[in-house]
Amino acid sequence: MATFKPIVIFVLGGPGAGKGTQCANIVKEFGYVHLSAGDLLREARASGSPDGQLIESYIKEGKIVPVEITIALLRKAMENSGKDKFLIDGFPRNKDNLEGWEREMGDKSIVKFVLFFDCPEETCMERALKRGASSGRTDDNIESFRKRYQTYLTNTVGIIDYYKAKGLVRTISSIPGPEQVFNEVKKLFNDS
Ligand code: UP5
Ligand code: MG
């Protein structure tokens, strides 16, 4: 008998592209569990995890935290949810993340597709800096944003390309307003 495997959709895009906003919409309408790797790391840092200082320094520098830390948080959240349909937001961002996922979860889950929010740097920057006025995030400032975007270009774009070659990427422009973007997202989820 085949073992049951949870379904995963990875949600990728530049910093501030609107991943979290659209994931919240998808949760309401399509019943997935939203796991933001960045949120899980920020929570671990805030809860006094022994990795807290390391996480903070990586986030502020826009660098990608070693996968052992991130994947342990994702696995725990998946198990604790008791659910079987996940939106994994902001992961995998680099080769280390991808290899860690394939090693730990490759045969324990099914990656249905990768939802890629395509958004130019200027728009991402505007959104992140505007949010910075109230988010309390230590990386919503111009210096950290530039580093985050550079990390996105040098690391994450290659991961999106890897999944493109497998025919698994669904691209949606997130330049328009959130409602318009969600209309496109809905079409995709209704068809899949
Ligand atoms: N907004 C959203 N959509 C809009 C739209 N269509 N039109 C106008 N405004 C829109 O949105 C950002 C802002 O824009 C909000 O104010 C929103 O209202 C508005 P949001 O939905 O939050 O965008 P999102 O893409 O989620 O942006 P976020 O800043 O969360 O993306 P990042 O990828 O930078 O952040 P994340 O939390 O994923 O990661 C942070 C850091 O954690 C990383 O830099 C890294 O250091 C670390 N990390 C790892 O090391 N490993 C991981 O696996 C994940 C993270
Ligand atoms: Mg986010």
Structural domains of the chain in order of their starting residue, each with its CATH number:
7-191 (3.40.50.300)
Say if residue 3's pLDDT is above 80. no
pLDDT confidence band for 190 (50 / 70 / 90): very high
pLDDT confidence band for 40 (50 / 70 / 90): very high
Q: Are 139 and 37 in contact (CB under 8 A)?
A: no
182 ligand 1 Cβ < 6 A: no
Environment of ion ligand 2 (residues, CB < 5 A): 19-20
pLDDT in tens, 75-107: 999 999 999 999 999 999 999 999 999 999 999
Say if residue 150's pLDDT is above 60. yes
Q: Which ligand 1 atom is nearest residue 15's CA?
A: 34
pLDDT, position 2: 56
Say if residue 4's pLDDT is above 90. no
136 ligand 1 Cβ < 6 A: no
Across the range 136-159, mean pLDDT stands at 97
Q: What whole-number distance in Å separates Cα of residue 130 and Cα of residue 81? A: 32
Tally of helices (H runs) and strands (E runs) in the chain? 9, 5
What does the angle CA 120 – CA 126 – CA 129 come to, to the nearest 5 degrees? Answer: 130
pLDDT, position 47: 93
pLDDT, position 192: 83
